[in-house]
Amino acid sequence: MLKKININPQRKILIIYFVLSIATLAVFWQVNHYGFVYFDDGVYVTHNNYLQSGISLEGIRWAFSTTYAEFWHPLTWLSLMLDYQLYGLNAGGYHLTNLILHIMSALLLFWLFHRMTGAIWKSAFVAALFALHPLRVESVAWVAERKDVLSAFFWMLTLCLYVYYTERPVIGRYLLVVFSFACGLMSKSMVVTLPVVMILLDYWPLKRFQSQKGNLILWQLREKIPLFVLSAAFSIITFYAQYTSKISPLNFKYPLGARLANAPVSFVTYLEKTFWPHDMALNYPFPVHIPVWQVLGASLLIVILSAAVIAMAKRLPHLVVGWLWYATTILPVIGIIPISDPMADRYIYIPSIGIVVMLTWGIPLLFLRENMRRNILFPAAMAVLVFLSILTWKQCGYWKDDATLFNHAFQVTKDNTLLMMMHNNLASSLDKEGKITEALDHYNEVIRLKPDFANAYNQRGSLYVRLGQHQLAINDYNEAIRLKPDYANAYNNRGSAYSRLGQYELATKDYNEAIRIKPDYTLVYKNRGLSYFKQGQNELGCRDAQKACEWGDCKLITDSRVKGYCR
């Protein structure tokens, strides 16, 4: 039997804060040594000129007015601008900010449930499972998901302020709740479901329904209307941002029937991964064909579980609150509304808390004797947390670079359009590292998965040039141009391949076409100028060298080999 250790409650709380922080730091610390990933970090940071201006009036104006990256989340942009101000393009600083926000969310979550229930160890377990679960890795390790950890911090802060307000309902405290909620919405629109969670917490554990007399619905509406108005406004803004943005040609819409079929399957799959985290990937494909038995089976399971927890609502209110927390918060990103991926680990960041609450307050009820609970549940809880921490550490390792991240995704997902994008991104990353043969293999796979993707032929052609296989390169450029007749880059690249083969007439013809399509294409003037010099047409070469310089590239005209020809 475990000996009970008497520790002052305040000291217990401080110990929990300390251990929770250190454990989370230890498990996630390796991400601070990682760089940016090819997938979206360029859009958010490395190729974002507005962000790289740092905190300024112009930057603040842009953050609050832009729907860049298909969302309106000004506080996310401002937090990234601040990071750039502090760290420049040192990715470790951005990862550290994500990790700090994640730890703060976990600490606030502990405070929240301890304040509401008075249960120190149960609240600590909820916070620890939230902090250390492998499904948190995508949100913490991916710089582009700053919106996730930032909005989660404001989610927790808003609920803490709400509990503070319920203890003494005065306007000042309520305004703090509204302000924090607005900050959460300005970080990520997924926070729109927070007012519903407040109502759930009013039922349990705050038990405010029992203290109210009269019309409960009217009371709730009157108190929550400002919050619901904000939710509605931000939902409209999100839809507007999505439908007015330039969608990548690789994206495609799925019919409503397919999205409805996928929703219950994803709902149950999230539950499965919460209990048994496995095969976690950067992106999951939208299933082309979903077996009917899966849709019916998942739907039946949801109905049975929902009916069970509702039936036990009065006796075991934590079950219905936890279940509805999960169901409500996952609804906006379950794939029915066509503004989200069909499934992603980051979407379960907040919803999983509901399931943890169900387990934390439900499992002890299976043990009738207090000493059995203490002797069995505490060691079991520690074992679970250690096991999950090991899995989380391992999952973090997949984010160390693009090659590792995408290779892992290939291993745990099947052929699909998203997989093709990952192959394409990985090939580009390997190309930058000089791993031409490996990059070539991935471009081959891209073309196998999507034979009409012109960019892949163009990129593969460039690899063939570097391998000295110019005719294979020309064949790929021909295919890229056939698929995309206005592809200026492919014309330029094919011209360079012809030039290397000494076929200057064909090269010039391609360079001319590239310039016709894109008159400000500096590289083409430079390449055409080099081609002219090789043919002895120095006057034409000098003219192109000068033109390239006018467009910002003066390397050719200052080259020692041509200085004697150009004045």
pLDDT of residue 2: 41
- Residue 366 contacts by C-beta under 8 Å, 6 or more apart in sequence? none
pLDDT of residue 250: 35
pLDDT tens column, 240-266 = 877 765 444 333 467 888 889 999 999
State how far the Cα of 237 lies from the Cα of 66, in Å rounded to an integer.
11
With bands split at pLDDT 50, 70 and 90, how would you rate the model's confidence at 417? low
State how far the Cα of 37 lies from the Cα of 35, in Å rounded to an integer.
6
Answer whether residue 190 shows pLDDT above 50: yes
Answer whether residue 333 shows pLDDT above 80: yes
pLDDT of residue 299: 96
- Residues 146, 80 contacting (CB under 8 angstroms): yes
- Average confidence (pLDDT) over 101-110: 98
- Average confidence (pLDDT) over 105-130: 97
pLDDT of residue 247: 45
- Residues 111, 159 contacting (CB under 8 angstroms): no
Task: Spell out a b/e string for 83-104, using b for 16 or more CB atoms within 10 Å of the CB, else e.
Answer: bbeeeeeebebbbbbbbebbbb
Q: Tokens for 224, please give them.
A: 């929550």
pLDDT tens column, 381-398 = 999 999 999 999 999 999
Nearest to 275 by CA among 180, 363, 152, 336: 363
State how far the Cα of 117 lies from the Cα of 199, in Å rounded to an integer.
16
- Cα 297–Cα 301–Cα 302 angle in degrees, nearest 5: 120
Answer whether residue 22 shows pLDDT above 70: yes
- Average confidence (pLDDT) over 307-319: 95
With 0-12 CB in 10 A as exposed, 13-18 as middle and 19+ as buried, what is 81?
Answer: buried
Answer whether residue 305 shows pLDDT above 60: yes
State how far the Cα of 507 lies from the Cα of 117, in Å rounded to an integer.
76
**Structural domains of the chain, ranges and CATH numbers in brackets:** 251-366 (no CATH), 415-519 (1.25.40.10)
pLDDT tens column, 56-98 = 899 999 999 998 888 899 999 999 999 999 999 999 999 999 9
Using alpha carbons, list the distances in angstroms from residue 276 to 221, 299, 408, 520, 537: 39, 20, 18, 54, 69
Per-residue three-class SS string for 58-114: HHHHHHHHCCHHHCCCHHHHHHHHHHHHHHCCCHHHHHHHHHHHHHHHHHHHHHHHH
pLDDT tens column, 512-565 = 999 999 888 888 888 898 888 888 888 888 888 888 777 666 777 676 666 666
- Average confidence (pLDDT) over 149-158: 98
Q: Tokens for 279, please give them.
A: 């095969």
- Residues 135, 273 contacting (CB under 8 angstroms): yes
pLDDT tens column, 476-525 = 999 999 999 999 999 999 999 999 999 999 999 999 999 999 888 888 88
How many CB atoms sit inside 10 A of residue 158's CB?
Answer: 27
Across all residues in the chain, what is the average pLDDT? 89
